[in-house]
């Protein structure tokens, strides 16, 4: 799952959202130096990644991309699943996606002092191009995939995955719905475990 899903699956816990959002830039046991709620977010992020990578539905989706995009098929698939979350946002939240996104960007700005350097350098692009809202449209997805591909020096031509998204749209979306329901439940259990409930 990509950024929007990670934040959404953190519930209404602000520091947990931040930890989950920036977890990819925190390696190994480095998470130990953070506040308790940030730590929980990092551990939740790792749980989401592990659950996702091993899930048969997600693997089925990703398999459609593997031959063409190789190692980058997982990165692309994470972004495509965020598209279906954003597009179907009203199913999962009573709050408008635009407000949810703006509130999260403000949360990042207000907590800049605890963010990693990687996140701080990424934030201006993310906010200016409103990634969370952009995920909801095909044109927004093209822009995000192009940006991701730019970071890899265009080794994977990730923006071309829009073709696969269009060709297999119904299959990807159907698989997303099934997978995401299971992921939500798994995260609820993981949060109880992290909170000692």
Alpha-helical runs (H) found in 2-96: 3-8, 14-22, 36-54, 56-69, 73-87, 89-92
- Residue 1 is predicted with a pLDDT of 73
Q: Which two tokens stand for residue 38?
A: 């940030």
- Check whether 86 has a pLDDT greater than 90: yes
Predicted confidence band of residue 61 (pLDDT cuts 50, 70, 90)? very high
Burial profile 101-128: b = 16 or more Cβ within 10 angstroms, e = fewer? beebbeebeeeeeebeeebeebeeebbe
pLDDT tens-digit series, residues 142-171:
988 888 877 776 677 888 999 999 999 999
Predicted confidence band of residue 178 (pLDDT cuts 50, 70, 90)? very high
pTM for the model: 0.94
- Residue 29 is predicted with a pLDDT of 87
């Amino acid at each position: 799952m990509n950024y929007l899903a990670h934040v959404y699956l953190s519930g209404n816990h602000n520091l947990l959202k931040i930890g989950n959002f920036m977890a990819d830039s925190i390696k190994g046991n480095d998470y130990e130096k953070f506040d308790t709620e940030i730590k929980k977010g990092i551990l939740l992020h790792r749980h989401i990644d592990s659950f996702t990578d091993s899930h048969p539905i997600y693997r089925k989706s990703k398999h459609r991309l593997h031959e063409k995009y190789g190692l980058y098929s997982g990165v692309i698939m994470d972004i495509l699943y965020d598209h279906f979350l954003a597009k179907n946002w009203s199913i999962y939240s009573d709050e408008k996606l635009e407000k949810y996104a703006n509130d999260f960007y403000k949360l990042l700005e207000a907590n800049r002092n605890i963010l990693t350097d990687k996140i701080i350098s990424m934030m201006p692009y993310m906010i200016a191009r409103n990634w969370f809202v952009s995920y909801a449209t095909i044109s927004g997805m093209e822009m995000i995939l192009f940006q991701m591909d730019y970071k890899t020096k265009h080794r994977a031509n990730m923006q071309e995955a829009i073709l696969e998204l269009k060709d297999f749209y119904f299959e990807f979306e159907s698989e997303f719905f099934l997978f995401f329901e299971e992921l939500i439940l798994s995260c609820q259990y993981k949060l109880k475990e992290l909170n000692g409930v």
